[in-house]
Amino acid sequence: MKKHGSKLIFILLLAVCAIFLFPVFIVVMNSFKSKFYISAEPFKLPTGETFAGLTNYIDGLSKTGFFSAFITSLFITVCSVGAIVLFTSMTAWYITRVKNKFTKLTYYAFVFSMVVPFQMVMFTMVKTANVLGLDNPWGLIVIYLGFGAGLSVFMFSGFVKGIPIEIEEAAMIDGCGPIRTFFLVVFPLMKPTTITVAIINTMWIWNDYLLPYLVIGSDYKTIPIAIQYLRGGYGSIDMGAMMAMLVLSIVPVVIFYLLCQKHIIKGVVAGAVKG
């Protein structure tokens, strides 16, 4: 009976998996098709006649300035995620360990920021960024830190609550001040959460279109903006190049995810205290 049930779940998961992977598959498949066949026969596999080889990729790379967009995207994503992980983990540690009205209020402010939709603050935020001189890649990193902080602080706080305080006290006796206690003892323990936070933020920052378009779109192109430029005037779109560039833009995130995946191990804290 139990075996039967697990088989059913397996089949169900397989079906869900197929549904999720189908769009990716369509994009990859069409990136190898000649651009005129993409809109005509989007679901057909490329055959001798429709197969375009790497033409779309070469086309796309030359038209979009993909490499410079890649560097811009990489710079913004890596720095933003780095800043988010560093600052929100410290913040979460502080507001979890130091209990007073201020930290409580701060925590709720972070949680509240998660439910405010981007579109609501979009225009005021862009104007503010402009006034403060944040309309450049460095400024964008600061803005991403703000948008990513809510969820990240929330996740880190949850994890810090599970770290036995005795470990930190032991570190204090062993010769650590607060900064060393954090970086030498607490932060290494946060690894699973750090990786999860990094993956979540990498995905949305890497894929984000609207924020960089609004803030730095006129001077710098990230990959999503560069791909968007493949939409020519009067509705003409180079579908082939677009598909190819989409595939290229997915690859780094997928690689990053696969690299991190093995590090997400539950129960890293197990063994520190009794049990």
Partner 1 sequence: MSSITLKGVSKIFEDGYKAVDSFSMTIPDKEFIVLVGPSGCGKSTTLRMIAGLETVSEGEIYIADRLVNNIQPKDRDIAMVFQSYALYPDKTVYKNIAFSLERRKMPKNEIARRVHEAAKILHIEHLLDRKPKALSGGQRQRVALGRAIVRNPAVFLFDEPLSNLDAKLRTQMRTEIALLHKRLGTTFIYVTHDQTEAMTMGDKIVVMDGGVVQQADTPENLYNNPKNAFVASFIGSPGMNFLEGTVEKGKSSLVALIGGDAVPTKKDSEALRSKQGQNVKIGIRPEDISLEGTVAPLKGILKVQENLGSEAYIYIEYQNTMLTAKAPHITHKQSGEEITFYINGDKMHFFDADSGENLS
Residues that bind partner 1 (CB under 8 A): 164, 166-167, 169-177, 180, 184-185, 188-189, 191, 267-274
* In the complex, least distance from residue 164 CB atom to partner 1, rounded to whole angstroms: 6
**Nearest one of 46, 214, 13 to 119, comparing CA atoms:** 214
C-beta of 79 vs 189, nearer to partner 1: 189
Phi, psi of 33 (to 5 degrees): -100, 150
C-beta of 78 vs 176, nearer to partner 1: 176
C-beta of 4 vs 266, nearer to partner 1: 266
* In the complex, least distance from residue 227 CB atom to partner 1, rounded to whole angstroms: 41
C-beta of 48 vs 177, nearer to partner 1: 177
Whole-angstrom Cα distance, residue 108 to residue 8? 42
* In the complex, least distance from residue 92 CB atom to partner 1, rounded to whole angstroms: 18
* In the complex, least distance from residue 182 CB atom to partner 1, rounded to whole angstroms: 13
Whole-angstrom Cα distance, residue 200 to residue 81? 9
User: What's at 215, amino acid-wise?
Assistant: V
C-beta of 169 vs 219, nearer to partner 1: 169
C-beta of 184 vs 237, nearer to partner 1: 184
* In the complex, least distance from residue 178 CB atom to partner 1, rounded to whole angstroms: 10
C-beta of 11 vs 184, nearer to partner 1: 184
* In the complex, least distance from residue 189 CB atom to partner 1, rounded to whole angstroms: 6
* In the complex, least distance from residue 91 CB atom to partner 1, rounded to whole angstroms: 22
